[in-house]
Amino acid sequence: MAAVNRLRFDTGRVCLDLLATVGGRLSSNPVERLTGPARLADWLDRAGVHPGAVPDDVDDVLLRDFQALRSRLHRILHTDVLGEQVGDSDLTQLNRVASAGGPPVLLARDASGAWRRRLVEPPRPEQLLAAVAADAIDLLGSPVRADLRECEGETCDLLYLDTSRGRRRRWCSAAACGNRHHVASLRARRQTQG
Ligand SMILES: [Zn+2]
């Protein structure tokens, strides 16, 4: 699969990883990485929304609901990063989605005797959405919010948590946007010299 379609999980938060399922959002050809229900199931599993408990019946309806939640979270988080006021209706809807809560959990031991958090039953669709909405609430409503940054990449507006020492990280990914910037400035320098 082309690198541009690859799911990524390097923003530091589940809710930001959901925003990263659209690539090159500021380019002329943004890439939708949640291309179908199977892709969403893969994302849910790897993002660790409810580890080891992705239901079998992830369908088109849930995919559309996740895409809608993603649009809303994009609006809310970017508005906040710009220091502007998040709209009442977005806030109300976010809180509503999160209110479905999580499935009941049990504390149990696995075969090796280690503690494991186990779901009583597979999460319902609204509980999968709630987990991601709750992550955004937790992010905005906690001191971690101070580490939220937007990538400086020309065609990228991904948000990530800057936990680097000195808080000087500029890119969502040094390998992607950082490298692109490096190559572009090198080329520009050569042109001026040539
Ligand atoms: Zn970027």
Task: State pLDDT tens for residues 28-38.
Answer: 999 999 999 99
- CA distances 9 to 61, 98, 133, 145, 156, Å, are 23, 21, 17, 18, 16
Q: What is the pTM of this model?
A: 0.90
149 Cα: distance to centroid of ligand 1 (angstroms):
11
- If DSSP codes are grouped into helix, strand and coil, which group holds residue 145? helix
51 Cα: distance to centroid of ligand 1 (angstroms):
27
Residues in the chain: 194
174 Cα: distance to centroid of ligand 1 (angstroms):
8
- If DSSP codes are grouped into helix, strand and coil, which group holds residue 41? helix
Q: What confidence tier does 180 reach under pLDDT thresholds 50, 70, 90?
A: confident
10 Cα: distance to centroid of ligand 1 (angstroms):
11
160 forms beta bridges with 149
**Cβ atoms 129, 58 nearer than 8 A:** no
Q: What confidence tier does 126 reach under pLDDT thresholds 50, 70, 90?
A: very high
Residue recorded with tokens 């001191």:
143
Q: What confidence tier does 187 reach under pLDDT thresholds 50, 70, 90?
A: confident
78 Cα: distance to centroid of ligand 1 (angstroms):
14
110 Cα: distance to centroid of ligand 1 (angstroms):
39
